[in-house]
Amino acid sequence: MPTSSDEILEYINLAAELIRQAKHGVALTGAGISTSSGIPDFRSAGSGLWTRFLPMEVASLEAFRYHPQRFFEWLRPLASHMLNAQPNSAHKSLARLESEGYIKTVITQNIDTLHQRAGSSRVLEVHGTFGTLSCLGCYQQTEITQEILTAYVEKGIIPRCQNCGAILKPDVILFGEQLPAKTWKEARKAVGSCDLLFVIGSSLMVTPIADLPLKAMRKSASLIILNKTDTYLDGQADVVIHRDIAEILPKITQRVLYA
Catalytic residue among 67, 81, 91, 127: 127
DSSP secondary structure code for residue 86 in this structure? -
Active site residue 242: no
Task: Name the 3-class secondary structure at 159.
Answer: coil
Nearest to 63 by CA among 71, 75, 72, 53: 71
CB of 104 within 8 A of CB of 24? yes
Inter-residue contact 233 to 204 (CB < 8 Å): yes
Torsion 226-100-214-177 (CA) sign: positive
Bin 38: left if φ > 0, else alpha if -120 < ψ < 50, else beta.
Answer: left
Q: Which residues are catalytic?
A: 127
